[in-house]
Structure 1
C-alpha cells in the first residue's frame, strides 16, 4: 500500500498540486490521466523522490519512502502515446 499525505509541489510560486492525499492499494490498478502540462509527471516524480516536493509524506507499507535506499529507479515516458 502507498499512502500519500498532504503532498504539495510549488514551482516558481505556482502551485502544481496542493495538499493531495490518497491511498493506493496493492490489489488495484490505477491510471493517471490528464491533459499536457497538468502535472502528471511532476506528481510521479514527487512520490518517487525523483523531484523535490514542497510538502507532504509518502509511506510505503507504513514506512516513509525516504527510508528506502535508491536502488530502484522510476522512469516516466511522457511523450509515448498509448492511444490516439
Structure 2
C-alpha cells in the first residue's frame, strides 16, 4: 500500500516549520549527504520565519508544502 501524503499551499503559520526544513536541507549537517548543500560555501541561515511569511503572503506567490504520512513537512517549493 502506498504511503499517504499531502501537497498543500503553505500559510503564514507554516513559516517556522518550513524555515527549519529549508535551513536543514541547504546548510544543516544532514545536507552534507546530498547535492544541495551550501554548508561549506556559505555561513548563516538560508532563510528565516519572517522572510518566509513575507514570501507566502506576497501577491502572486505560492509555497507548496509536502506533508508526510505523519503530517510533518518533508518538502516545499516556492512558485512565483
Answer whether TM exceeds 0.5 for this pair. no
Q: Under a length normalisation based on structure 1, what TM-score does the superposition of the two structures give?
A: 0.31
TM-score (norm 2): 0.31
| Structure number with higher helix proportion | 2
